[in-house]
């Protein structure tokens, strides 16, 4: 069984509700994302832009046997990629946060100062992550749209396609999620 076929199978399994398949899938998708990202960076170093959508698409094409998937699997795949992107960014922000606080608990225990890692105009990713978790409880579709749009850089059309909903629905949900999250973060 080749890698593509294996990954496609895992994707099917996960789509069918097997959580373990997702656990197995994540690192593989991550590895491929990583590879593709490295390739992009080499190629596009000069202008510093990065076509993230293309990044995910290429990862998708590379990993998944197109003949064996339907929109549902596709949506699941994009969900994984988007979720991974989110984790990567938030973990990164956490690390930075920790570094600014200065080191591990053994030697620096007492201080509980909350440091904001971002410049003012930047978004506090850690807070956003928490707010997004909260949003997912109220409206899961909106939170997924945010993952796809914000963390994976998909356009409205691509997001609509990935979730198999209409573009206008995506646009409305996106607008509301933005408003809601923004309000949460400025509270």
d(CA 8, CA 5): 5
Nearer to another protein, 1 or 67 (CB): 1
125 touches another protein by CB under 8 A: yes
Work out how close the CB of 150 gets to another protein at its nearest, in angstroms, rounded to a whole number: 5
Instruction: Provide, rounded to whole angstroms, the least separation between the CB of residue 68 and another protein.
Output: 23
Which residues from 161-180 bind another protein, rule CB under 8 A? 172-173, 175-176, 178-180
53-72: contacts with another protein (CB under 8 A):
55
Q: Which two tokens stand for residue 174?
A: 């996106």
Task: For residue 30, state whether it binds another protein (rule: CB under 8 A).
Answer: yes
Residues 71-100 that bind another protein (CB under 8 A): 85, 88-89, 91-92, 95
Rule CB under 8 A: say whether 124 interacts with another protein. Answer: no
- Residue 22 binds another protein (CB under 8 A): no
Q: How many Cα neighbours within 13 Å face the side chain of 33?
A: 20
Question: Do 32 and 90 contact (CB within 8 A), yes or no?
Answer: no
* Smaller CB separation from another protein, 27 or 157: 27
Contact predicate 157/167, CB 8 Å: yes
Q: Can residue 134 be called a binding residue for another protein (CB under 8 A)?
A: no
Distance of closest approach, residue 67 Cβ to another protein, in angstroms: 26
Contact set with another protein (CB under 8 A): 26-28, 30-34, 37-38, 40-41, 49-50, 52, 55, 85, 88-89, 91-92, 95, 103-107, 109-110, 123, 125, 138-139, 146, 149-153, 172-173, 175-176, 178-183, 186
């Amino acid at each position: 069984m080749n890698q593509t076929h294996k990954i496609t199978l895992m994707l099917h399994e996960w789509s069918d509700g097997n959580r373990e398949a997702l656990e197995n899938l994540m690192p593989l998708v991550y590895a491929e994302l990583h590879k593709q990202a490295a390739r992009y960076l080499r190629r596009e170093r000069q202008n510093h832009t990065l076509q993230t959508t293309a990044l995910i698409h290429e990862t998708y094409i590379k990993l998944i046997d197109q003949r064996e998937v339907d929109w549902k699997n596709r949506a699941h795949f994009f969900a994984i990629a988007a979720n991974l992107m989110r984790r990567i960014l938030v973990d990164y922000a956490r690390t930075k946060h920790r570094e600014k606080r200065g080191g591990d608990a053994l030697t620096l225990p007492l201080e509980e100062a909350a440091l904001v890692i971002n410049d003012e105009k930047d978004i506090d990713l850690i807070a956003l992550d928490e707010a997004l978790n909260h949003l997912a409880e109220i409206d899961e579709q909106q939170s997924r749209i945010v993952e796809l749009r914000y963390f994976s850089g998909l356009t409205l059309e691509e997001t609509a396609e990935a979730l198999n909903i209409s573009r206008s629905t995506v646009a409305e949900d996106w607008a509301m999620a933005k408003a809601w999250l923004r309000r949460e973060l400025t509270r």
